[in-house]
Structure 1
């Protein structure tokens, strides 16, 4: 069934429709939560909490085409809360996709370099390259203009490149 029809049913209290919506988005939400929380158990707990929060406030979704963005925003907010609470730094699983041909030690260097860049830039890089989100989608999720997202992406990639060059002379 189409997401917009499922959303309409879920907003009217249809639990089955809500369950189907969550099944459609479950994998993407788990990937987002795991990339931030760096722990499978924490990622599953995040999915459970986000499911509860989404269920509780499903009626707030105005446009069906933004349902996915709305869910990701809830997940990001939850992950940020957890990171602040536990003083964690967002994960950089992006590196696995960026560095398939780079050996393990270089991958660790990239992860460490990514941890040292500005958190806003790191978040945009993760959303763009690991989660394959478009600039427009990232802008909606982070509630910022597209131009700001592009700036953060540019600055983040430049900072990551500089970190890598400083660390090992690797040209990224």
Structure 2
């Protein structure tokens, strides 16, 4: 990234102008795209959205449990990220910064809607048993403490590798494994309360 900035300044151009003329946008790293976005290059931010859209949707789905809500939440997350770009001090950490925005936004949504919709599905006698089970598991996951819930969602809803989780949470790989084990044990204890006829 530093070399791109140096070359652009030697050419008397902003990073945005240089990148647009010389470097195809899809091969720019996140840092270059963030800097270009700050300078007003909407295509650069569009590339960031394209690059991380599925990542954010999977994250939101892990918290919210339905596709439409996850897509809506992802749009909100990218709007917040766009508005927050001027305040991102280190453009190199865009992915983990975006993850934190997504997590906080989804937690707010979960707290707002709590479990009203889930109870409606459970109470509906015509509900599909698989739907009821998914809702009950979601409800149980929401009962975990925030750290446990977060790592379960990252691993099993976002399908992130241990290394990716360690990078996003800025913790050692061994800590990821320990936290995931403890979170699974906590979830197992909670899930034991689900009736066998629903399982």
Task: Establish whether TM, by shorter chain, passes 0.5.
Answer: yes
The yes-or-no answer on 1:78 pairing with 2:117 is no
How far off its partner does 1:149 sit? Answer: 5.2
| Structure 2 counterpart of 1:67, from 83, 94, 103 | 94
Distance 1:21 1:59 in 2: 15
In structure 1, the partner of 2:33 is 6
Gaps of 5+ in 2: 1-25, 119-129
Matches within 5 A, 1:39-50: 39-50=66-77
Matches within 5 A, 1:1-172: 1=26, 2-3=28-29, 4-88=31-115, 108=134, 111=137, 114-133=141-160, 137-138=164-165, 141=168, 145-146=171-172, 151-163=178-190
Which deviations, in whole Å up to 9, do the C-alpha atoms of 1:31-69 show, x marking residues without a partner? 111221122332222122112111111122333431111
How far off its partner does 1:159 sit? Answer: 2.0
Indicate if the aligned counterparts of 1:11 and 1:59 stay in contact, CA closer than 8 A.
yes
* Greater shift in the superposed pair: 73-82 or 30-39: 30-39
How far off its partner does 1:13 sit? Answer: 1.5
How many residues end up aligned between the 2 structures? 156
SS in 2 for 1:52: helix
Gaps of 5+ in 1: 92-103
Which deviations, in whole Å up to 9, do the C-alpha atoms of 1:52-102 show, x marking residues without a partner? 11111112233343111111111111001111111149x9xxxxxxxxxxx
Which deviations, in whole Å up to 9, do the C-alpha atoms of 1:118-166 show, x marking residues without a partner? 34212212213332435565466557x5476555323212223444567
Tell me: CA distance 1:55–1:10, structure 2 relative to 1, closer, same or farther (3 Å): same
What RMSD in Å do the two structures reach over aligned CA positions?
3.4
* Greater shift in the superposed pair: 52-61 or 23-32: 52-61
Q: Tell me which structure has the larger Cα radius of gyration.
A: 2
